[in-house]
Amino acid sequence: VNDVNSPGIDWTNENDRLLVCQVCIKLADINGPAKDRSLHLKWTEGIVNEFYEQGDEEATLGLPISPFMDRSAPQLAKLQESFITHIVGPLCNSYDAAGLLPGYWMDEEGSDDEEETEDIETEDEELDEDLEP
Protein backbone atom coordinates (compact mmCIF):
# COMPACT_ATOMS: atom_id res chain seq x y z
CA VAL A 1 0.00 0.00 0.00
CA ASN A 2 2.85 2.41 0.75
CA ASP A 3 4.47 1.84 -2.66
CA VAL A 4 2.60 3.50 -5.53
CA ASN A 5 4.09 0.91 -7.89
CA SER A 6 2.79 -2.03 -5.85
CA PRO A 7 -0.07 -4.11 -7.30
CA GLY A 8 -2.35 -3.29 -4.36
CA ILE A 9 -3.03 -4.62 -0.92
CA ASP A 10 -0.65 -7.23 0.40
CA TRP A 11 -2.92 -9.27 2.65
CA THR A 12 0.13 -10.95 4.21
CA ASN A 13 1.38 -7.55 5.40
CA GLU A 14 0.02 -6.55 8.81
CA ASN A 15 0.28 -2.82 8.02
CA ASP A 16 -1.81 -3.27 4.87
CA ARG A 17 -4.48 -5.22 6.74
CA LEU A 18 -4.52 -2.61 9.52
CA LEU A 19 -4.91 0.22 7.00
CA VAL A 20 -7.84 -1.56 5.33
CA CYS A 21 -9.51 -1.97 8.74
CA GLN A 22 -8.89 1.68 9.67
CA VAL A 23 -10.40 2.91 6.41
CA CYS A 24 -13.37 0.56 6.87
CA ILE A 25 -14.02 1.99 10.34
CA LYS A 26 -13.74 5.55 9.00
CA LEU A 27 -16.19 4.74 6.19
CA ALA A 28 -18.63 3.32 8.73
CA ASP A 29 -18.35 6.60 10.64
CA ILE A 30 -18.89 8.96 7.70
CA ASN A 31 -21.20 7.01 5.39
CA GLY A 32 -24.34 9.00 6.20
CA PRO A 33 -24.80 10.23 2.61
CA ALA A 34 -24.96 6.60 1.44
CA LYS A 35 -27.77 5.69 3.85
CA ASP A 36 -31.51 5.74 3.23
CA ARG A 37 -32.56 9.39 2.84
CA SER A 38 -34.64 9.57 6.03
CA LEU A 39 -31.82 8.07 8.10
CA HIS A 40 -29.27 10.35 6.41
CA LEU A 41 -31.39 13.41 7.25
CA LYS A 42 -31.71 12.28 10.88
CA TRP A 43 -27.92 11.98 11.22
CA THR A 44 -27.42 15.28 9.37
CA GLU A 45 -29.77 17.06 11.75
CA GLY A 46 -27.83 15.68 14.73
CA ILE A 47 -24.41 16.74 13.48
CA VAL A 48 -25.63 20.17 12.36
CA ASN A 49 -27.11 20.77 15.81
CA GLU A 50 -23.73 19.84 17.33
CA PHE A 51 -22.06 22.31 14.96
CA TYR A 52 -24.50 25.05 15.98
CA GLU A 53 -23.84 24.36 19.66
CA GLN A 54 -20.12 24.77 18.99
CA GLY A 55 -20.82 28.04 17.15
CA ASP A 56 -22.93 29.25 20.09
CA GLU A 57 -20.06 28.47 22.47
CA GLU A 58 -17.56 30.24 20.21
CA ALA A 59 -19.80 33.32 20.11
CA THR A 60 -20.21 33.25 23.90
CA LEU A 61 -16.42 33.19 24.28
CA GLY A 62 -16.04 36.09 21.85
CA LEU A 63 -14.32 33.90 19.26
CA PRO A 64 -15.02 33.99 15.54
CA ILE A 65 -17.63 31.40 14.63
CA SER A 66 -16.17 28.54 12.59
CA PRO A 67 -17.49 27.82 9.09
CA PHE A 68 -20.87 26.02 9.04
CA MET A 69 -21.27 26.53 12.81
CA ASP A 70 -23.35 29.75 12.73
CA ARG A 71 -27.02 28.95 13.28
CA SER A 72 -27.99 32.47 12.17
CA ALA A 73 -26.52 31.76 8.71
CA PRO A 74 -27.33 28.12 7.87
CA GLN A 75 -25.43 26.64 4.92
CA LEU A 76 -26.67 23.05 4.98
CA ALA A 77 -26.44 22.42 1.22
CA LYS A 78 -22.90 23.84 1.05
CA LEU A 79 -21.89 21.82 4.13
CA GLN A 80 -23.20 18.57 2.65
CA GLU A 81 -21.64 19.25 -0.76
CA SER A 82 -18.26 19.94 0.84
CA PHE A 83 -18.46 16.87 3.10
CA ILE A 84 -19.37 14.55 0.24
CA THR A 85 -16.93 16.06 -2.27
CA HIS A 86 -13.90 16.38 -0.03
CA ILE A 87 -14.28 13.57 2.51
CA VAL A 88 -16.80 10.84 1.69
CA GLY A 89 -16.26 10.71 -2.08
CA PRO A 90 -12.46 10.46 -2.13
CA LEU A 91 -12.42 7.85 0.64
CA CYS A 92 -15.10 5.74 -1.06
CA ASN A 93 -13.31 6.08 -4.41
CA SER A 94 -10.03 4.91 -2.86
CA TYR A 95 -11.70 1.97 -1.15
CA ASP A 96 -13.45 1.08 -4.41
CA ALA A 97 -10.21 1.38 -6.41
CA ALA A 98 -8.69 -1.16 -4.02
CA GLY A 99 -11.56 -3.53 -4.88
CA LEU A 100 -13.02 -3.42 -1.38
CA LEU A 101 -16.56 -2.16 -2.08
CA PRO A 102 -19.39 -4.37 -3.29
CA GLY A 103 -19.98 -4.25 -7.03
CA TYR A 104 -23.57 -3.00 -6.86
CA TRP A 105 -25.79 -0.56 -4.96
CA MET A 106 -28.75 -1.73 -2.93
CA ASP A 107 -31.95 0.19 -3.65
CA GLU A 108 -34.53 0.84 -1.00
CA GLU A 109 -37.37 -1.68 -1.34
CA GLY A 110 -40.38 -0.24 -3.13
CA SER A 111 -38.48 2.94 -3.97
CA ASP A 112 -40.11 5.09 -6.62
CA ASP A 113 -37.27 7.21 -8.00
CA GLU A 114 -39.58 9.81 -9.57
CA GLU A 115 -41.55 10.30 -6.35
CA GLU A 116 -38.34 10.36 -4.31
CA THR A 117 -36.84 13.06 -6.53
CA GLU A 118 -39.92 15.24 -6.07
CA ASP A 119 -39.71 14.86 -2.29
CA ILE A 120 -36.04 15.87 -2.03
CA GLU A 121 -36.58 19.63 -2.21
CA THR A 122 -39.45 19.48 0.29
CA GLU A 123 -37.39 17.44 2.77
CA ASP A 124 -34.39 19.78 2.41
CA GLU A 125 -36.62 22.79 3.08
CA GLU A 126 -38.16 21.08 6.12
CA LEU A 127 -34.72 20.22 7.53
CA ASP A 128 -33.51 23.80 7.00
CA GLU A 129 -36.63 25.08 8.82
CA ASP A 130 -36.10 22.62 11.70
CA LEU A 131 -32.52 23.80 12.13
CA GLU A 132 -33.23 27.54 12.01
CA PRO A 133 -32.92 29.42 15.33
pLDDT in tens, 54-80: 999 999 999 999 999 999 999 999 999
The angle subtended at Cα 40 by Cα 31 and Cα 25, nearest 5°, is 20
Question: pTM (2 decimals)?
Answer: 0.63
The answer to whether 55 and 38 are in contact (CB under 8 A) is: no
Stretch 78-85: mean pLDDT: 91
Is the residue at 123 inside a domain? Answer: no
Is the residue at 65 inside a domain? Answer: yes
Is the residue at 19 inside a domain? Answer: yes
| pLDDT band, very low/low/confident/very high, at 107 (cuts 50, 70, 90) | low
Is the residue at 114 inside a domain? Answer: no
Buried-exposed string 14-33: b where 16+ CB fall within 10 A, e elsewhere: eebeeebeebeeebeeeebb
**Averaged pLDDT of the chain:** 81
Domain count, the chain: 1
Cα–Cα dist 61/69, whole Å: 14
Full residue range of the structural domain in which residue 56 is found: 1-101
| pLDDT band, very low/low/confident/very high, at 97 (cuts 50, 70, 90) | confident
pLDDT digits (tens, 9 = 90+) for 11-56: 899 998 999 999 999 988 888 888 888 998 999 999 999 999 999 9
